[in-house]
Chain A
Amino acid sequence: MYNYTILIPLIPLVIFLVTGLLGMKWKPIISGLLGTTGLGISWVLSVMTAITYFFGSHHEGAFETIIPFEKLWLTFSETLQIKMGVLLDPISVMMLVVVTTISFMVHIYSLGYMHGEKGFQRFYAFLSLFTFSMLGLVIATNIFQMYIFWELVGVSSFLLIGFYYQKPSAVAASKKAFIVTRFADFGFLIGILILSFITKTFDFAKLTNPDGAVFANAAGMSFMGISVMTWAMVLVFMGGAGKSAMFPLHIWLPDAMEGPTPVSALIHAATMVVAGVYLVARLFVVYHFQAPDALEIIAYVGGFTSLFAAVIAITQHDIKRVLAFSTLSQLGYMMLSLGVSGYGGEEGLGYMASMFHLFTHAMFKALLFLAAGSIIHAVHSNYMYEMGGLRKYLPITHITFLIACLTIAGVPPLSGFFSKDEILVAAFNHNKILFGVEFLVAGLTAFYMFRLYFNIFWGKDRHYHHTPHESPLTMTIPLMFLAFASIFSGFLPFHSMVTSDKMHFDTHLHLAVAVPSVLIGLIGIAFAWLLYKKESKVPEKLAKQFGILYTATYNKFYIDEIYLFVTKKIIFNYISRPVAWFDRHIVDAFMVGIGTVTEKISYRIKGMQSGQLQHYAFMFVAGVLILALVLVYYI
């Protein structure tokens, strides 16, 4: 009954191929409309799937895992095979909805935003490619299919970040994004290899079976004192951390904002960056039963990233970068939530909260980015100090942006409140330190988001090149839709849809957590209101007060510089260059040397061929005599 689901990824693929091959011959708008229509169909199909899956047949007990389509793609050996298929279970169905919704909205939005850009067709072709890859990743039936699409989303992200390929900064950013994630994928690959070595299977169905039968081999295997499963799962997480930009692999995400804003909304806020979270969620059973240590690491990495990014976000001026760091911070939330989760029922609250937050975050973060795009479209600048008082000019953008800010700040009854609250409760139940961190981050989030909001929409009017005007309908409709989703998606019954053991469980509001968290959010907003509502000197003074701390934060704690040092200085200068030198001057010189030595020797001994008959005769006779002597005396 779900056979049609294979169409969901295939439609964008076909559109990619058609647009990619023929698009340049068409009028740009045709590509746009074709892409949008196709994605619309995919979206409808996804929503249909979700409705039938979650609410269709009334069922007791767990949601089933359904594989409506599977085809052999490559055989490694009898047991190790890559199949391409569609796997439907609660998280993948949810992700289908998230991906197609955001992608559809971005497709519509880009009709307006990218209007008149050179390479409009290319843009739509790449969007379709990305959507195809992301959908393929989501519905993967085995870890290798996931890896394949994982790479494909990486490359589509690379292509889209570098969309303005004549801009050196965009090229550098795309390169950085690709290489950093590639490095992480190397870890992922090794993780997969270890898993395949132990379990002899790639199938999620076998891997995530709670009985853990396939891991029987792993018992007692260890490497450098750490169990092999921990190694494997940490390495798999490394891949996830790369895609989801967890510290210390986060450096590519802020730079990725060089891409067109709809791309940032789609890839670097709502969908691709949650792939890492999705991966951990997908393998959650394995983490929980086979490698609890790895899960612990995930929790701490997530917690640290969320704090770290939130702190940096406070100091940034580029609105897209603020949003990027905010994304990092929220992804940290999701990771942490998975990290502190248990399995089954109430214990699995963290898992459910993480997925819930993934869903709501996709909506409101995409909204924030699209609204930011609308603002950038209007004022042609990314910097908030060149903005101010825009609420008069951009009414729709203003309202939707405000809704998104309130949502991310966790103000009830918007969706962000519910999902964040669940995460805090999960953290509270398991680890008080992490709870404290997250609690603080909640306040910081509210603060930096409203700093952004007040700076853009309030404060003094700036001098603009031309009066900013509201964006066209193609751009505002997605904003309104996403604002709607941000407000109401909190009421979705996630606890009976997406849970760690696919069973329903009851949740209730934990007032002891909810009230303080709302309060700290409000405090954050209030601070922002005080500091940024009116033009004032206080923020600058504060910045001066913190001195080095502020500079360090503003420069993102110099992590980029450290990376640059390691790659440019150490790898390029101290590995690659010596290797090139070694090859030319040692290995090649040795080979050439053999030739040279032969030549030299022959030069030396060529005098023996003097042309003097009597020399030859003497040699000959001497040789004969020596041979004769040898024969006589030694034989």
Chain B
Amino acid sequence: MIEGIPIQHFLIVSTIMFFIGIAGFIMRRNLITILMAIELILNSVNINFVIFNRYLYPDQLQGHFFAIFVVGIAAAEASVAIALIINIYRKLKNIDVENVNELRY
């Protein structure tokens, strides 16, 4: 099904996703959006895992396993992050990342 599509296409998509994620992570102020940006980054990496696995070692499954791991960890991470965000919200009454700067010099 994907025989005709060159690998570059996938890589371009994943790269674009990755940088969108990075940009979102750095520029957005809202913590929830930042979390979403992280999801984008993770998923762009997932695409790479799966694609490289498929193209380079079609008879092996390590890449797929990794992708599943990442998804699992992303879920755990999301729950922890949202718990943190809720706590931050309780404390600061907003979820703007610029206000979370207690840990500085």
- Using CB atoms and an 8 Å cutoff, list the residues of chain A in contact with chain B: 606-607, 609-614, 617-618, 621
* Chain A positions within 8 Å of B104 at CB level: 609-612
Cβ contact within 8 Å between B98 and A612: yes
Are B97 and A611 within 8 A (Cβ)?
A: no
Query: Which of these, B25, B27, B102, contacts A611 with CB under 8 Å?
Result: B102
Q: Chain B residues with Cβ under 8 A from A607's Cβ?
A: 105
The chain A residue sitting closest to B31, CB to CB, is A613
Collect the chain A residues with CB atoms within 8 Å of residue B22's CB: 617, 621
Q: Report B-chain residues with C-beta under 8 Å of the C-beta of A612.
A: 97-98, 101, 104
B100 within 8 Å of A (CB atoms): yes
Residue B2 lies at the interface, judged by CB distance under 8 Å to chain A: no
Contact across chains for B97 and A609 when beta carbons are under 8 A apart: no
Q: Is B1 an interface residue (CB 8 A)?
A: no
Decide yes or no whether B5 CB sits under 8 A from chain A.
Answer: no
CB B25 to nearest CB in A, in angstroms, measures 6
Answer whether residue B26 sits at the interface, using C-beta atoms and an 8 A cutoff. yes
When distances are taken between beta carbons in the complex, the residues of chain B under 8 Å from A614 are: 25-27, 97-98
| Chain B neighbourhood of A611, CB < 8 A | 100-105
Known: A610-B104, A612-B104, A614-B25. 16 other contacts (CB 8 A): A607-B105, A609-B104, A610-B101, A610-B105, A611-B101, A611-B103, A611-B104, A611-B105, A612-B97, A612-B98, A613-B100, A614-B26, A614-B27, A614-B97, A617-B22, A621-B22
What residues on B are CB-neighbors of A617 within 8 Å? 22, 25-26
16 A-B contacts, Cβ less than 8 Å apart?
A606-B105, A609-B105, A611-B100, A611-B102, A611-B104, A612-B97, A612-B98, A612-B101, A612-B104, A613-B34, A613-B100, A614-B25, A614-B27, A614-B98, A617-B22, A621-B22
Q: A618-B26, A621-B22, A621-B26 given as contacts; is B105 within 8 A of A613 (CB)?
A: no
Shortest CB distance A189–B (Å) = 61
Q: Complex formed: what's the CA distance from A383 to B102 in Å? A: 88
Query: Across the interface, which residues of B come within 8 angstroms of A609, CB to CB?
Result: 104-105
User: Least Cβ distance of A604 to chain B in Å?
Assistant: 11
Q: How many residues of B contact A (CB 8 A)?
A: 13
Minimal Cβ-Cβ distance residue in A for B28: A614
Distance of A243 Cα from B47 Cα, bound (Å): 100
Q: A residues within 8 A CB of B25?
A: 614, 617
Q: How distant is the Cα of A607 from the Cα of B25 in the complex, in angstroms? A: 21
| Chain A proximity of B91: nearest CB distance (Å) | 15
Q: Are A613 and B97 in contact (CB under 8 A)?
A: yes
The CA of A514 and the CA of B25, in the complex, are separated in Å by: 119
Q: Could you say which of A606, A607, A610 has the most chain B C-beta atoms within 10 Å of its C-beta?
A: A610
Q: Report how far A618 CA is from B26 CA in the complex, Å.
A: 6
Question: Which chain B residues border A613 with CB–CB below 8 Å?
Answer: 34, 97, 100
CA of A618 to CA of B24, assembled, Å: 11
Report the bound CA distance from A617 to B34 in whole Å: 11
Closest to B98 in A: A612
Give min CB distance, B92 to chain A, whole Å.
13
Chain B nearest Cβ from A294, distance in angstroms: 74
Q: Which residues of A contact B105 (CB under 8 A)?
A: 606-607, 609-611
On chain A, the residues within 8 Å of B97 by CB distance are: 612-614
CA distance A617 to B101 in the complex (A): 14
User: A609 to B25, alpha carbons, bound, how many Å?
Assistant: 18
Map CB proximity to A onto B77-100 as digits: 1 under 8 Å, 0 otherwise.
000000000000000000001101
Shortest distance from the beta carbon of B60 to any chain A beta carbon, whole Å: 27
Closest to A614 in B: B26
Q: Which residues of A contact B98 (CB under 8 A)?
A: 612, 614
Contact pattern, B 18-54, Cβ under 8 Å of A = 1, otherwise 0: 0000100111000000100000000000000000000
- Distance between Cα atoms of A610 and B26 in the complex (Å): 15
A606 to B98, CA, bound (A): 18
Q: Determine the distance from Cα of A606 to Cα of B26 in the docked complex, in whole angstroms.
A: 21
**Residues in A neighbouring B101, C-beta threshold 8 A:** 610-612
The residues of A that contact B100 with a CB separation of less than 8 Å are 611, 613
Q: How far is the CA of A609 from the CA of B102 in the complex (A)?
A: 11
How many angstroms between the C-alpha atoms of A610 and B22 in the bound complex?
20
Q: In the complex, what residues of A have CB within 8 A of residue B26's CB?
A: 614, 617-618, 621
A606 surroundings in chain B (CB, below 8 A): 105
Chain B hits for A610, CB < 8 A: 101, 104-105
B52 to chain A, nearest CB (A): 18
Q: How far is the CA of A621 from the CA of B27 in the complex (A)?
A: 13
Cα distance A609–B104 in the bound complex, in angstroms: 5
A617 to B97, CA, bound (A): 12
Closest chain-A Cβ to B20's Cβ sits at a distance in Å of 13
**Chain A positions within 8 Å of B34 at CB level:** 613
| Bound CA span A370–B52, Å | 116
CB distance from A629 to the nearest CB of B (A): 15
> Considering only CB atoms, which chain B residue lies closest to A618 in the complex?
B26
CA distance A186 to B102 in the complex (A): 69
Name the CB-closest residue of A to B23.
A621
> What's the least CB distance linking B16 to chain A, in Å?
16
Chain A nearest CB from B36 CB (Å) reads 15
10 A-B pairs with least C-beta separation: A611-B104, A611-B101, A606-B105, A609-B105, A618-B26, A614-B26, A611-B103, A617-B26, A609-B104, A610-B104
Q: How far does the alpha carbon of A412 sit from the alpha carbon of B101 in the complex, in Å?
A: 110
Report chain B residues within 8 Å CB of A618: 26
* Cα–Cα distance between A613 and B25 once the two chains are bound (Å): 9
Q: How far is the CA of A479 from the CA of B97 in the complex (A)?
A: 107
CB under 8 Å from chain A, chain B span 8-22: 22
CB distance from A623 to the nearest CB of B (A): 13
| Complex-state Cα separation, A618 to B104, whole angstroms | 16
List the A side residues contacting B103 at CB < 8 Å.
Answer: 611
